[in-house]
Amino acid sequence: MRAYIDIVCQHAAFRHYLTDIDLHEIGEFRRENVATFSNSRNRPYGWAEYLPTLDFHAVCGDIDIPWAEEKYRQGWAEHFPQGWDKWLEEHDRKDSARL
């Protein structure tokens, strides 16, 4: 099952792929629960330095929680115009070429 959160913070934007543990912690996959999860300072992923989350887009299977504000969706699209997966592929290739 595809599950992730696209997150925009004041000084960062990133995608977090949700694990089964994350999904269990979120509970019912709805905006309020995902917001609580994404703003928790207990994240083991180094998020604390970026909090608070300004906005997010979250997907879990067929459930798609859209950005709350259009400006953050647009900012995400400008930062990752080719899409997150293509951006990662390009950066992985550049990193591999340097080795």
pLDDT in tens, 15-31: 889 999 999 999 999 99
Sign for the CA dihedral angle at 22, 69, 10, 85 comes to positive
From the list 55, 36, 16, the residue with the least C-alpha distance to 28 is 36
Given a contact cutoff of 8 angstroms between Cβ atoms, the answer to whether 91 and 42 are in contact is: no
CB count, 10 Å around CB of 57? 19
**Predicted TM-score (pTM) of this structure:** 0.77
Total domains, the chain? 1
Lookup: tokens for 38: 């994404």
Sign for the CA dihedral angle at 85, 69, 41, 34 comes to negative
Strand 53-60 and strand 63-65: the pairing is antiparallel
pLDDT in tens, 22-78: 999 999 999 999 999 988 766 555 565 667 889 999 999 999 999 999 999 988 888
Which range marks the domain in which residue 47 is found? Answer: 3-98
